[in-house]
C-alpha cells in the first residue's frame, strides 16, 4: 500500500488531495502519465484520486480525421499503405474511409429506369 500523504509531502504539498489537484488539474497530467511517474498502476492512481474527491476529466473524444482533397487519387497512385503512413493513420482507417466514400458514391447514382 502506497502512503500517498508521504509522497505528497515529499513533493512539497500539504495533502494528498492538493498533490492530485496540482498534478492532474493544474499540470494536466493524465492518469497513465501519473501512474508511470510514480511506478504504480493506473488503478492505484485513480482510486487515490477518487478517495480525495478529485474529479476526472472526460475521456478523449473521437479524433477528427483530416483527409486531403485528392485522397482517392493518392490511394490510386501510391496505395493505401503509403497514404496511411503519410497521413499517420492506420491502414484499416484509410481502407474504411475509402470504402465509405465509394459506398456513398454508389448510393448517389441513379437507378436504372424500369423497362
Q: Residue range 22-47: average pLDDT?
A: 94
Question: What is the pLDDT, as a whole number, of residue 1?
Answer: 78
Answer yes or no: is pLDDT of 38 > 90: yes
* pLDDT exceeds cutoff 80 at 111: no
Q: Does 113 score more than 80 pLDDT? A: no
Compute the mean pLDDT over every residue in the chain, rounded to the nearest whole number.
88
Quote the DSSP letter at residue 111.
P
- In the numeric block, the cell 493506473 is attached to 42
pLDDT in tens, 49-108: 999 999 988 877 677 788 999 989 999 999 989 999 999 999 999 999 988 888 777 776
User: Residue 78: which residues within 8 A CB-CB, separation 6 or more?
Assistant: 86
CB 83 within 8 A of CB 47: no
Q: What is the pTM of this model?
A: 0.53
Three cell numbers written together for 97: 474511409
Q: How would you classify residue 12: left for phi > 0, otherwise alpha for psi between -120 and 50, otherwise beta?
A: left
Grid cell listed for 44: 492505484
pLDDT of residue 60: 72
Domain ranges within the chain, ordered by starting residue: 4-52, 62-102
Amino acid at each position: 500500500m502506497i502512503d500517498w500523504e508521504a509522497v505528497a509531502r515529499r513533493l512539497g504539498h500539504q495533502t494528498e488531495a492538493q498533490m492530485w489537484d496540482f498534478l492532474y488539474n493544474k499540470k494536466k497530467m493524465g492518469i497513465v502519465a501519473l501512474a508511470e511517474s510514480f511506478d504504480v498502476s493506473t488503478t492505484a492512481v485513480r482510486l487515490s484520486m477518487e478517495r480525495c474527491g478529485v474529479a476526472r476529466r472526460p475521456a478523449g473524444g473521437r479524433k477528427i480525421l483530416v483527409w486531403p482533397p485528392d485522397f482517392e487519387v493518392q490511394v490510386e497512385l501510391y496505395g493505401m499503405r503509403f497514404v496511411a503512413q503519410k497521413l499517420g493513420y492506420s491502414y484499416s482507417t484509410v481502407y474504411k474511409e475509402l470504402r465509405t466514400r465509394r459506398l456513398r458514391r454508389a448510393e448517389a447514382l441513379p437507378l436504372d429506369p424500369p423497362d
